[in-house]
Amino acid sequence: MKNLALKVQRFLKSEDGPTAVEYAVMLALIVIVCLTAIRSIGTNANATFNSVAGQLGGGGP
């Protein structure tokens, strides 16, 4: 039982766990920002292509 308590105490003092969690949260936020930006750019590009196609009279196949 004492061995388990020492392992838990050592884990709680270690800074590797919290650092890994911080990096994971930061990575998740970066991924969310990237996906939002890509989606916004894709929506704007689609609207632009549709506008140009409408002005050219290309109704599509």
DSSP 9-60: HHHHH-SHHHHHHHHHHHHHHHHHHHHHHHHHHHHHHHHHHHHHHHHHT---
Query: Can you give the pLDDT at residue 42?
Result: 92
Hey, is 61 helix, strand or coil? Answer: coil
Query: Can you give the pLDDT at residue 60?
Result: 52
Task: Read off the pLDDT of residues 24-58 as tens digits, 9 standing for 90 and up.
Answer: 999 999 999 999 999 999 999 999 999 999 999 85
Report pTM.
0.56
